[in-house]
């Protein structure tokens, strides 16, 4: 972001604020396009008008916004994988041996049944 123009930084920060306002308005249950579209236009217009004076603030906000967004995404992805592994009963470390397991039992495997295929 340090090599970007102030107008591009203002556009990126406007998109970030629009995204978070969408998330907040949706989470409190009061999202309507009549509120959201004027908010986006106002934020975009104000940031474009004063972008040259707020270059340092835009950099700071973009960095904080990126850290928060990536942190939430990181936690969300690992949570979804954890939930799916729990639902499908996938044991990645193979700590628990269960009856309906799809892993091969090495004791029951006979070496005479294994043939090399070339």
pLDDT tens, 52-106? Answer: 888 888 889 888 988 998 999 999 999 998 898 888 877 776 666 666 655 555 5
Helix (H) or strand (E) holding 107: none
Please report which helix (H) or strand (E) contains residue 106, including its range.
Answer: none
Q: Tell me, what's the pLDDT at 100?
A: 60
Contact 5, 59 (CB under 8 A): no
- For residue 6, which of 66, 59, 61 has the smallest C-alpha distance? 59
Write out the DSSP string of 78-92.
HHHHHHHHHHTT--T
Region 3-10: what's the mean pLDDT?
A: 86
pTM over 0.75: no
Long-range Cβ contact pairs of 69-78 (< 8 A, separation 24 or more) = 69/16
CB half-sphere exposure, 35, CA atoms < 13 A: 9
Which has more pLDDT, 45 or 110? 45
Tell me what pLDDT residue 85 has: 85
Decide if pLDDT at 109 tops 60: no
């Amino acid at each position: 972001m340090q090599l970007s123009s102030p107008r591009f930084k203002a556009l990126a920060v406007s998109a970030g604020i629009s995204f978070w306002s969408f998330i907040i308005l949706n989470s409190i249950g009061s999202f309507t396009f009549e509120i959201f579209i004027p908010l986006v236009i106002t934020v975009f217009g104000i940031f474009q008008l004063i972008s040259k004076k707020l270059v340092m603030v835009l950099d700071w906000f973009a960095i904080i916004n990126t850290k928060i967004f990536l942190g939430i995404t990181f936690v969300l992805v690992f949570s979804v994988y954890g939930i799916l592994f729990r639902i499908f009963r996938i044991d990645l470390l193979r700590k628990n041996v269960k009856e309906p397991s799809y892993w091969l039992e090495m004791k029951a495997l006979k070496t005479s049944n294994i043939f090399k295929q070339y």
